[in-house]
Amino acid sequence: MHETTPAVQRLREHLAPIVDIHGALAILGWDQQTCMPPGAGRTRAEQRATLGRLAHELFTSAQTRELLAAAEREVDGLDPDSDEARLVRVVRRDLDRALRLPAEFVAERARAAALSVEVWRRARPADDFAAFAPWLEQMVTYARRTADYVGYQDHPYDALLDPYEPGMTAAEVRTLFHQLREATVPLVRAIDRRGAVVDAAFLRREYDEARQEAFGRAVASAFGYDWERGRLDRAPHPFASGAGRDDVRITARYHRRYLPTGIFSIFHETGHALYEQGTDPALARTPLARGASLGMHESQSRLWENLVGRSRAFWRRYFPTLREHFPEALRDVDVETFYRAVNLVEPGLIRTEADEVTYNLHIILRFDLEVALLEGAVRTAELPEVWRAKMLEYLGRAPATDTDGVLQDIHWAQGSIGYFPTYTLGNVISAQLFAAARAALPDLEAQIEQGAFAPLLGWLREHVHRHGRKFLPRELLERATGRPVTLEPYLEYLWSKYGDIYGVARVREPSGAPA
């Protein structure tokens, strides 16, 4: 930011403490899921509500409105892509939304969400949907009220999706998901007909958790994660979080008798963290120093977890290292067997452990249910039953318990309705970005096979990370790849990878997917 824009500078100085509060809130949230004593739940809910209200009041104050108006006059005529002009535009967008939400409502919603998460935390292992149902009902009501406050043109879901995926609508998601479902089903069927191509039982041998973590740390370092500005801890539901580019924390969970959970959760969260650590230092302590959207964020985690971390090239380099960590468990396993085992397609009950091919069906199910809950087409009490029916329809199997069904995710418990589509958007975008990176870096696969990730990280830094929130996701994607979000690179990736593993050829969708 420059001396020639004093009004923008004043706006920036006014916003910095608000960004600080959001950073502190993130650290409190991180603490709640990593090391907070279980009895502190109510206290923590109050703390988070207080800070959330404070940030909301500061941000929606008359002072912000005046400073923003002055800054808007000042950037008029500046390069529209400058940090200054983009900051002003993003703050205007955020402020217009925030002004529509009363501070009391925001505080009440935050307090209820924190309590709801605590109830969910007990209800999930106890398979007690009845205990959680009234809280979920409340979260749906808060979501409806949020949409009413914020306003929308076509569907209340648009208002809920927007904070996670700015500029995208429920109708766009519905179209994309419909095409994806149409294209995924033939692949799943073709794989089903082939049957298992590898015996993956060795993944359920004994794997010491500390060694899993050590291997994960080695890979995260190689990807480019900066430990001076990050740390790794355990959490029941892995996530990446932090307080700005210089404090980006990741978490993982490990299963002693199932190797993939731990290592791939580290790859995944490292991908998120690389994004945040890579934002331009010039954007620090501004609302721009974050990812462009959750979908764009998830594209980064999925790119490192799947397009890199589950590739044959990657394991040619890293399987020998992994075997050094687990000489007993992997004594009779070769790299090709390992590669196929960690890419096994197997319709399962748990979203976070789903393979790449079936994963999106879990998301499409949740999107359908969120829309139905908002519309009142499904009542909260009916959810477990509807969940089981949809699982049967999409994945061919249904959970015996709600622990493995409707209670499995934290998202609805914390009121994050509108969030789930971003996971699948991330998958789609990850392939689109990777295809563009490969076009720019013809040796990419060889580099991955050598464990040389700097060129790929450099491409992502240049085209995605450094920009933070300066651009809407669709703008960022067009700048990086020349196209808006498009399904074809992802379908091409899935069919070519799994076609090779399972020996099946691509079935062209009769309805005609975009070429």
Active site residues: 269
Nearer to Zn ion, 86 or 245 (CB): 245
Cα–Cα distances (Å) from 171 to 174, 181, 294, 412, in that order, read 5, 15, 18, 21
Nearer to Zn ion, 116 or 301 (CB): 301
- Closest distance to Zn ion from the beta carbon of 268 (Å): 6
The Cα 15–Cα 13 span in angstroms is: 5
- Closest distance to Zn ion from the beta carbon of 274 (Å): 12
Residue 128, by phi and psi: left (phi above 0), alpha (psi -120 to 50) or beta? beta
Q: Does 424 bind Zn ion (CB under 5 A)?
A: no
Among 212, 286, 301, 432, binds Zn ion (CB under 5 A): 301
- Write out the two tokens for 490: 């992802």
- Closest distance to Zn ion from the beta carbon of 282 (Å): 26
Nearer to Zn ion, 64 or 301 (CB): 301
Segment lying near Zn ion (by CB under 5 A), choices 93-101, 225-233, 292-300, 305-313: 292-300
Nearest CA to 121 out of 417, 418, 419, 414 is that of 414
- The torsion angles phi and psi of 199, rounded to 5 degrees, stand at -95, 110
Nearest CA to 279 out of 119, 467, 510 is that of 467
Beta bridge partners of 241: 249
Segment lying near Zn ion (by CB under 5 A), choices 178-186, 211-219, 291-299, 394-402: 291-299
Local structure of residue 279 (DSSP, 8 states): S
List of residues 6+ apart from 81 with CB closer than 8 A: 470
- Closest distance to Zn ion from the beta carbon of 304 (Å): 10
List of residues 6+ apart from 507 with CB closer than 8 A: 186, 187, 190
Number of residues that bind Zn ion (CB under 5 A): 2
Nearer to Zn ion, 286 or 301 (CB): 301
Nearer to Zn ion, 301 or 311 (CB): 301
- Which alpha helices (DSSP H) does 35-150 contain, by range? 41-59, 62-75, 83-99, 103-126, 129-150
- Closest distance to Zn ion from the beta carbon of 270 (Å): 11
The Cα 405–Cα 400 span in angstroms is: 8
- Closest distance to Zn ion from the beta carbon of 127 (Å): 26
Helix, strand, or coil (residue 470): coil
Nearer to Zn ion, 296 or 480 (CB): 296
- Write out the two tokens for 484: 């808006």
Nearer to Zn ion, 84 or 298 (CB): 298
Segment lying near Zn ion (by CB under 5 A), choices 298-306, 358-366, 462-470, 478-486: 298-306
List of residues 6+ apart from 499 with CB closer than 8 A: 505, 506
Nearer to Zn ion, 56 or 268 (CB): 268
The Cα 114–Cα 46 span in angstroms is: 9
Segment lying near Zn ion (by CB under 5 A), choices 141-149, 281-289, 301-309, 365-373: 301-309
In the bound complex, which residue of the shown chain has the CB atom lying closest to Zn ion? 301
Residue 418, by phi and psi: left (phi above 0), alpha (psi -120 to 50) or beta? left
First CA to last CA across the chain, in angstroms? 43
- Closest distance to Zn ion from the beta carbon of 298 (Å): 5
Q: State which of positions 56-85 bind Zn ion (CB under 5 A).
A: none
- Closest distance to Zn ion from the beta carbon of 416 (Å): 13
Segment lying near Zn ion (by CB under 5 A), choices 50-58, 93-101, 293-301, 408-416: 293-301
- Write out the two tokens for 88: 């002003």
Beta-carbon-side half-sphere exposure of residue 426 (alpha carbons within 13 Å):
30
Beta bridge partners of 233: 251
Segment lying near Zn ion (by CB under 5 A), choices 167-175, 205-213, 300-308, 459-467: 300-308
Nearest CA to 134 out of 413, 420, 419, 373 is that of 413
**Binding footprint of Zn ion on the chain (CB under 5 A):** 298, 301
